[in-house]
Every structure is written in C-alpha cells, then in structure tokens.
Copies of this chain bind each other. A is one copy, B any other.
Amino acid sequence: MYTSQETSKAPVVAPATTLWDNIAGRCLREQALRTHDPLFLEGDDAEFLYGVVEGILCNYRILSDGRRQVISFSYPGDLIGLGHSAAYHFSCEAVCGARVRSIRKNAILYDAEGHVGIERRLLEFADVELASMQEHQLLLGRKTALERVASFLLMLARRSVGDHAQGSHFRIPMTRTDIADYLGLTIETVSRNMSKLRFKGVIDLPQATTILVLDIQLLETLAEAEEGAF
C-alpha cells in the first residue's frame, strides 16, 4: 500500500520531451514501485535500462559493514542503468512510490540498424550524469555540513516542479536517512543544519517533509557558490 508520501498533491511527472521519448515504443514494460522497493541490487544482471516515469529513486552503494552512500537520485525523465556493464555496480530503490519503464539493453545497443540518434542521446545523457557527479564529488570531498545541506535543498528546489522562486514551498520526498547518505553525513547532522537554516531565517519547515525557501540568495551563498564566474 502507498504511504501518503507519493499520493499527495503535486506528483512529480516527466517533462514533455526527453531522451526517453526517443526510445519509446521498443518493448517497454511499465512497473510500479512502492517506497523502499528495490528496482535492482548491486551484482544483478544488468539486463535492463530503466526510465523513470513518475516518482523518485535512489542509487546507492554499500560497504560490507553497512555504511551506505547514495550516488544520485533519479527523477522523472532520468535514465537508470547506464554505467553498468554485465552487472549493475550499484543498487537502486524507490524513495517514494514510483513508476518506471524498462527496456532490454540489447534492444537498443546491439540493434543491427545502428540507431545513431539513440547512441548520441545516451552519450549526452552520460555527459549530464558525469557533470552532476563531479559536482557531487566536490560536495562530498570539500564542503562543510551546512554547505552540503544548503546545496541539497537548492538541488531539490531546482528539480521540483513549479516555480522555485523566493517564498516557494515544495516537498522533501526522501527521508533524512536518504539525505544523510547522499550528503555523506549522519541524520543528526542533517537535522541540526536544517534547524540552523531555519534559525537563520533562510528556510522554514512547516512539516518535516515540506520546505519553504525564504531567502534563496542567502541559501545560494551558504551553498558556497563555485567559481564559475572567472
């Protein structure tokens, strides 16, 4: 059964035109996932490529003693399954209720017709993924806890549907554990820094899962603007 997480207002839906559209029509199978349902686990045969239709998933790796690192969150329009060869290199599970479409990798990659357009788009997608992973590495390696939380909220704002201007509010679909594992922190540190942002008047948290950005400029400053301005 679904929790209130994903059935409530403002469901996250795929944008109009995506790479996915290009592949649509090739033996797609749609699949529904509930919160914490796994899509696949590290080591599974990497048979399918998945496209997120609705909801959010998280890709993560774990160490033998249970320490977990969330690599990325996948939103509607995103593709999951690139960067794997024979077996998936990480695990993937739903953060909230989600729907994904699967397509057999062979169907695109080893199609004799040679779909140049598709390969180019997959390459573009890999490019975007690489860029965002570089950003994430900078965060994990060099940012303070407050900067990490601010950066995360900013990313959340950008990826949330609707306007993300001053005063806009949006849902935080993932748990504090998911956030902490994404930011390389503990849930306590995430919570503390959320509160710190609240005391500073940068954000408000009407509920734990809802955020209201009061001062987006300050939030951007606290997220430590990268030096792209040179």
Say yes or no for A130: interface residue by CB 8 A criterion: yes
Q: Note all chain B residues with C-beta closer than 8 A to A9.
A: none
Given that A141-B140, A224-B64 are contacting pairs, would A71 and B134 also be in contact in the complex, using a CB cutoff of 8 Å?
A: yes
Give 12 A-B contacts (CB < 8 Å), ordered by A residue. Answer: A63-B143, A63-B224, A67-B142, A82-B127, A83-B126, A83-B131, A83-B134, A119-B120, A122-B123, A123-B126, A136-B137, A141-B181
Contact of A89 with B134 in the complex, beta carbons under 8 Å: yes
A68 interface contact, C-beta 8 A: yes
Q: How far is the CA of A62 from the CA of B109 in the complex (A)?
A: 36
Asked whether A137 lies within 8 Å of B137 as measured between CB atoms, the reply is yes
Given contacts A82-B127, A130-B130, contact A141 B184 (CB under 8 A): yes
**Known contacts A109-B120, A227-B63; A126 and B137 CB within 8 A of each other:** no
Q: Counting chain B CB atoms within 10 Å of each CB, which of A43, A62, A83, A181 scores highest?
A: A83
Which residues from 157 to 203 on chain A have a C-beta closer than 8 Å to any C-beta of chain B? 181, 183-184
- CA A60 to CA B96, docked complex, whole Å: 34
The CA of A184 and the CA of B230, in the complex, are separated in Å by 24
Q: Is the CB of B83 within 8 A of A130?
A: yes
Q: At the interface, is chain A mostly helix, strand, loop or mixed?
A: mixed
Which B residues lie within 8 Å of A142 (CB)?
Answer: 63, 67-69, 184
Q: Which residues of B contact A109 (CB under 8 A)?
A: 120
| B61, A134: Cβ atoms closer than 8 Å | yes
Q: Are B61 and A130 in contact (CB under 8 A)?
A: no
CB-defined contacts of A135 to chain B, threshold 8 Å: 61
Q: Does A84 contact B (CB under 8 A)?
A: yes
